[in-house]
């Protein structure tokens, strides 16, 4: 079972997280940031991961520290649960519609941190959540996970729909990328022999 638990405490946040890549899409998420809870629940369902997350953060300041630090810890959990990445499919992609929104997402479990993010949010907030934090979350996640992620809004007007499509597409893309390849279950999927 590819599962890991991480505890991280700073002066800004205290996070307890358990991630199971071979789960059933169950989420028990209490981040202190309502919109992020919603997005991570969708992500978990579509990735078919199990995610238990509790974050106590300084949300009296704003949601930035909690959102960014959750990205850090989730990325670290993904990296640790993959181990040496033997047998994984490595790549995953999704073109995901959410009503009028359309998002392209592509993932490479490359060991190299790279985020290419393109979005044009029509609103600076969804509820009380600052939409600029979507990129902050993904930046932290990608750096900590050591993955390449391209995520691009192709269409859409409703900011909630666009962000929701992004998290669902990321989940679906990772679901494919982390899957064990039945044709080469013990091989590192790289000519270098390491990822």
| pLDDT given at position 57 | 98
Region 141-162 average pLDDT: 98
Whether the pLDDT of residue 138 is over 80: the answer is yes
Residue 61 in domain = yes
- Can you tell me the distance from the alpha carbon of 32 to that of 38, in angstroms, rounded to the nearest whole number? 11
Query: Can you name the residues that pair with 7 across neighbouring β-strands?
Result: 16
Higher pLDDT, 156 or 1: 156
Residue 186 in domain = no
Q: Phi and psi at residue 16, in whole multiples of 5°?
A: -120, 125
Q: What is the pLDDT of residues 11-65, one digit of tens each?
A: 999 999 999 999 999 999 999 999 999 999 999 999 999 999 999 999 999 999 9
Region 4-12 average pLDDT: 98
Domain count, the chain: 1
The Cα angle at residue 174 between residues 152 and 176, in degrees rounded to 5 = 110
Extract the tokens encoding 36.
């992020």
In terms of Cα–Cα distance, which of 40, 35, 36, 169 is closest to 102? 169
**At 61, which CATH number?**
3.30.230.40
Q: What is the pLDDT of residues 62-113, one digit of tens each?
A: 999 999 999 999 999 999 999 999 999 999 999 999 999 999 999 999 999 9
Residue 77 in domain = yes
Residue 159 in domain = yes
| pLDDT given at position 70 | 98
Domain that holds residue 20: 3-178
Please, where are the H alpha helices in the chain?
A: 34-47, 64-82, 133-145, 159-178
Residue 193 in domain = no
- Can you tell me the distance from the alpha carbon of 73 to that of 153, in angstroms, rounded to the nearest whole number? 25
| pLDDT given at position 1 | 77
| pLDDT given at position 127 | 95
Residue 187 in domain = no
Residue 63 in domain = yes
Residue 184 in domain = no
């Amino acid at each position: 079972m590819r599962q890991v638990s991480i505890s991280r405490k700073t002066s800004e946040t205290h996070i307890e997280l358990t991630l199971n890549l071979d789960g059933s899409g169950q989420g028990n998420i209490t981040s202190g940031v309502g919109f992020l809870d919603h997005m991570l629940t969708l992500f978990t369902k579509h990735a078919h991961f199990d995610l238990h997350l509790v974050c106590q953060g300084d949300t009296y300041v704003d949601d930035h520290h909690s959102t960014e630090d959750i990205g850090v810890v989730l990325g670290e959990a993904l990296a640790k649960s993959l181990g040496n990445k033997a047998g994984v499919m490595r790549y995953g992609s999704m073109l995901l519609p959410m009503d009028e929104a359309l998002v392209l997402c592509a993932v490479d479990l490359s060991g190299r941190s790279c985020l290419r993010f393109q979005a044009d949010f029509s609103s600076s907030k969804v509820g009380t959540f600052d939409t600029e934090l979507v990129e902050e979350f993904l930046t932290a996640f990608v750096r900590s996970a050591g993955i390449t992620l391209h995520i691009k809004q192709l269409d859409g007007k409703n900011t909630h729909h666009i962000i929701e499509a992004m998290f669902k597409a990321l989940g679906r893309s990772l679901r494919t990328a982390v899957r064990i390849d039945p044709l080469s279950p013990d091989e590192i999927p790289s000519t270098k022999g390491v990822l």
